[in-house]
Chain A
Amino acid sequence: MDKNKVCPGKILSIARREYNGLLLEKTFVLSLLVQLFIASFSAFLVVGLTSFYDPMALQGMQMKESKIGVIGDGEGELFKLMKISDLEPVKYADFGEAYNDFYDREIDAIIHIPNETAEGNNLIDLDIYLPRSELKATIVSLQLKKPLEKFEQSVRSIRTARLDGYTPLNIQIMRWDKGTSSSKLEFIYVALLPLLVFTPAFISGGLVIDMITEEFERKTLDLLLASPVSLLDVVGGKTLVATAISPVQSLAWMLLLGLNGIGINNFTQILLIVAIVSLILVVVGSIIAALCRERGTAQLFYSLVLILLFMSSYLYTNSPLNLVSRLALDSIGYVEAFTWIAGYMCLAVLLLWMLTSIVEKEHMKI
């Protein structure tokens, strides 16, 4: 019997054995729990980021107007700007008086406005005193930013005329509602979604290493190979299981996100990418495991490769992570998307071929 020939039936029976093992040990449940934890954590991050960049956008959260003490010029432009924004400016004669109220928590910040006019020539130096290590400091800074920017623009509108050949870029953005800020949308589609759909793939890669090195370390491989299966069948079966379970989990995540009102476009293409990437990672894991044969080294090596791949996806457009974001947002043409998917597919096939030849070589050594 030719032991080097790949036999689908044997691969499937190995795969079934591994699959049952997974169910038996309930390790799968742990992995799902971990992912659930990451998801709930990310949900927290979404809330956190939104409230940070855009506190007013949070529903049900009414930010109270912060009282802010003003010393110096209490008649000028900035004072008026603060008044019509989310702030409640209170005039004080001197710093000592303001500090007393600040200390008693009557006001949350003090601003000193110098007596300079926009028409003048001097810099306008504003001093802002914020409570150290308090949440209030962040809130007040956020509320102050708008009036300060408006103030800067109004001063600039007079002063920049003195600059040679400066024409401001004047494009009016026609928006009818102040809805989602870009940071929230970007966080969901650029960070959260790729992280969630690819986490199962990352885990699968580690899983296949455990499955293979375990056979080597426990010396159970010799027993297996005594039966009419080849090393290639064994590795193939394990690779198959590890790859197959990942898109299923990703699908669940995408459905969950959908239930939470996060619309995802191009469902099938994203799943296809996830499947290809899991195949790539699992095959890489199998190659490493077949070569190292020892769990500690193999896992270390795999995590290094994983970090490497992760880092390199920052380097170019249409990395798998970016591709998923763009597809989900429907920001990519079909031709471009399919070209890249085909490219990754080729990489996966290439790696698979490498795995086959490496495993066959390793089989000779046993």
Chain B
Amino acid sequence: MSITRFRHCAGYISINIINTLYISMSGWYTVAKWEFLRSGMKFSRRAVFAILFTLLLLAAVSYAVSFTGMNLDQKIYSVFSASPQLNSIIEGDERFYVLNDDGHDPDITIVEDRAYLSGTKKSVAAADALEKVFIDHRETVLSSYNDINNSHPVWVTIHDLDRPESFQVLGGATQQAGQVSDAENENADVAGDYNGNPAAAKRTSQIVSPEELEDLDNSGSKTLFERQTIATPSNFTPPIPFTAILYSFLFIFPIYFVSQFYSSSIMEERTNRRCELLLMAPLRSRDIVLGKSIPYVLVAMVLLSVISLYIERPSDIHELRTSLAMIGVIFPVLLLFFSLSFIAAIFSRSFKELTFSMVFFSVIVSGYVFFPAMFANVHAVSSISPMTLMVNLIEEGNISFGKYVFSTLPFYLVALSIYGFGTAIFREEDLFSQKTITEKAIDCMELFLAVPLGSVFTLSIVSIPFVYMAQLMLIVMLFNLPLPYSIIVMIILAALVEEIAKSIGIYTIMKRGLKSVNLKTAGMLALLSGGGFFFGEKLVSVITLAPIASSAFGSVMTMGTLLLIPLLLHVTTTMITSLGVYFTGPRYYVFFLVVATGVHTIYNTYLLRGLLFG
């Protein structure tokens, strides 16, 4: 059925072959329309029925789950006590189970008015939990009295006060403490930073008379994202941590699901070789790629809009603008997700590979997106993630344009470059062959070097956003190594990433024999590539890196405000790889890459010696 539909489309297109402009306009539109209709009818009636049934079941189960505490910690602590009244209080908490006889050693044994611990780690935790159970019980009993002045005599009202924000305060303290304790302080900073964003409050404190607050202890009515402002000391809880994760998950789930379908659809074109027909039609591959992507982008955007409206619930123009800004913030993330799914679908040789690479990319990107966001308002590193902007939007309702550009520009650049590379190899020999992933990647490079402006110089510049994002992802992944090690590993891996970026073009030229290379041209290539990278790097550090340059990780990346030496370094290390490969052949590329990385690492370590060795 779809084939006939396709023939119809193809015929329609070929009629219009005269007007190329018209085709380029309508080409992607036709593909998009077709994609849209096809995926709508892809499900058989039986599948639709089964999926609807599962969704219904899921809704029912979720409804039932919403009445439970959403915990999987049932019956993990055991208690023995002789008092039935006490037993029923304790069993009110699902974490506890009461032992009737002494057959199994209980974690806690209650004799009269004393609770004894068995002494294990678990029993200490159980005691902690038991204390909370007793406090909760006390509060419940007291709440049943209708005499608030005597049952809940103390009330706390929280007000938020503004004072000048300064990230330097954390950093400043670190510097004053001197170099030796630098590492410790940094650790303390980090550990402290994990507390999440302190103010999830959008609501300013209100004055409510305590009489109206009798039912405030049951804070269940509060929405998750609002912070309590009035409470009794026992109910006084610090702000919810990790709200940023919740937001991110809410936004990332739909993106993940839609991108699954997107990558599946592209992969299918390859497995069925159906795309062959498309490629034979007078369509540019750009049109096919656009046409195949746009429907999915639209669907995802609709879902995201619904979510942002749900979170913000706009009542006036200003809040509607905040909702729109949220979509603006999430859009680059969506684009990156989609570009990665696209390239994964083109690169992978089998469904398994596609699934794994999709999971891999989603985990990495989600990590990149929401890990730094946990430090929103706390640490300057948080500004690299668009999700931090999301937190700011939800709290304050606006963000500055500069911050937007800083955290989203790399997303846009990387996504667009990936689409560029992907579209370039969207051709028969790459789509329908069993080429290895490295070969396809080299194909990308080769095609890039063949375009009018393509050279190792521009390739190095284009690689900058990739290097930048890769290094930021490294920060994310290395964050929980103990400090001196994380910096050392960071230095080595950062150098490796840069060396790969600089030498990949040269490797492609030599491997594929794109140019006749002699000693002089090998040197020239290294000069161009290293120079291009240096140029791009300086450009980036001038534009964007300033905000996080003050942190230790930042200084790994921006190193060297001196101009000549870094240039020399980039050219030298590239020269090592370039000449090495020239003399020994592409097979030894990895070896020389490692050597170049080593040299680069030594240089970086020298620059950072103060930080590392005090």
Contact = CB atoms under 8 A, between A and B. Distances in A.
Interface string A118-141: 100111111111111111111101
A151 interface: yes
A107 to B, nearest CB: 11
B363 interface: yes
A329 interface: yes
Contacts of A22: 352
A317 B76 CA distance: 10
B104 to A, nearest CB: 6
Interface string B206-248: 0000100000000000000000000011101011011000000
A47 B364 CA distance: 20
Contacts of B122: 185, 329-331
Interface string B182-224: 0010011001111111110100000000100000000000000
Given A25-B349, A103-B163, A133-B165, A308 B47 contact: no
Given A47-B480, A326-B75, A301 B360 contact: no
Given A135-B198, A217-B271, A317 B74 contact: yes
A134 B117 CA distance: 39
A124 B233 CA distance: 11
A43 B321 CA distance: 38
B360 A34 contact: yes
A311 B58 contact: yes
Interface stretch (A83-91, A208-216, A229-237): A208-216
A222 interface: no
B429 interface: no
Contact of B351 (A110, A295, A311): A295
Interface in B90-149: 94-95, 97, 104, 107-108, 110, 113-117, 121-122, 124-132, 134, 137-138, 141-142, 145, 147-149
Contacts of B560: none
A126 B153 CA distance: 11
Interface string A304-342: 110110011111011101100110011111000000000
A297 B42 contact: yes
Interface string B36-58: 00000011000100110011011
A304 B61 CA distance: 12
Contacts of B477: 37, 40
Given A128-B158, A180-B121, A206-B355, A138 B74 contact: no
What secondary structure prevails in chain A residues at the interface with B? helix
Interface stretch (A1-9, A157-165, A251-259, A347-355): A157-165
B191 A304 contact: no
Q: Which has the most chain A C-beta neighbours within 10 Å: B71, B73, B242?
A: B73
B114 A133 contact: no
A182 B128 contact: yes
Interface stretch (A55-63, A274-282, A357-365): A55-63
B606 interface: no
Nearest to B107: A331
Contacts of A63: 192
B4 interface: no
Nearest to A218: B271
B72 A182 contact: no
A325 B73 contact: yes
Contacts of A62: 188
B350 interface: yes
B151 interface: yes
Given A48-B374, A177-B124, A122 B157 contact: no
A48 B195 CA distance: 6
Interface string B170-189: 00000000000000100110
A267 interface: no
A220 B358 CA distance: 24
A171 B160 contact: no
Q: How large is the interface on B (under 10, 10 to 19, 20 to 34, 35 or more residues)?
A: 35 or more
A92 to B, nearest CB: 14
B556 interface: no
A171 B264 CA distance: 60
Contacts of A135: 192-193, 195, 198, 377-378
Interface string B391-433: 0000100000000000000000000000000000000000000
29 contacts: A34-B360, A60-B188, A61-B187, A63-B192, A118-B153, A122-B149, A125-B157, A128-B157, A129-B160, A130-B160, A132-B199, A133-B199, A134-B378, A135-B195, A145-B238, A148-B233, A169-B134, A174-B114, A177-B124, A181-B128, A190-B72, A191-B72, A214-B352, A295-B267, A296-B42, A301-B51, A304-B51, A304-B55, A321-B72
Interface of B: 42-43, 47, 50-51, 54-55, 57-58, 61-62, 64-65, 68, 70-78, 86, 89, 94-95, 97, 104, 107-108, 110, 113-117, 121-122, 124-132, 134, 137-138, 141-142, 145, 147-165, 169, 184, 187-188, 191-199, 201, 210, 232-234, 236, 238-239, 241-242, 257, 260-261, 264-265, 267-268, 271-272, 349-357, 359-360, 363-364, 367, 371, 374, 377-378, 395, 477, 479-480
Interface of A: 21-22, 25, 27, 30-31, 33-34, 37-38, 40-41, 43-44, 47-49, 51-52, 55, 58, 60-63, 99, 102-103, 105, 110, 118, 121-139, 141-142, 144-145, 148-149, 151-152, 155-156, 159-160, 162-164, 166, 168-177, 179-182, 184-186, 189-191, 194, 203, 206-207, 209-211, 213-214, 217-218, 263, 292, 294-297, 299-301, 303-305, 307-308, 311-315, 317-319, 321-322, 325-326, 329-333
Closest 7 CB pairs of A and B: A48-B194, A148-B233, A210-B351, A296-B264, A132-B160, A185-B125, A182-B128
Given A25-B352, A37-B477, 6 more contacts: A62-B188, A123-B149, A133-B377, A138-B196, A166-B145, A174-B116
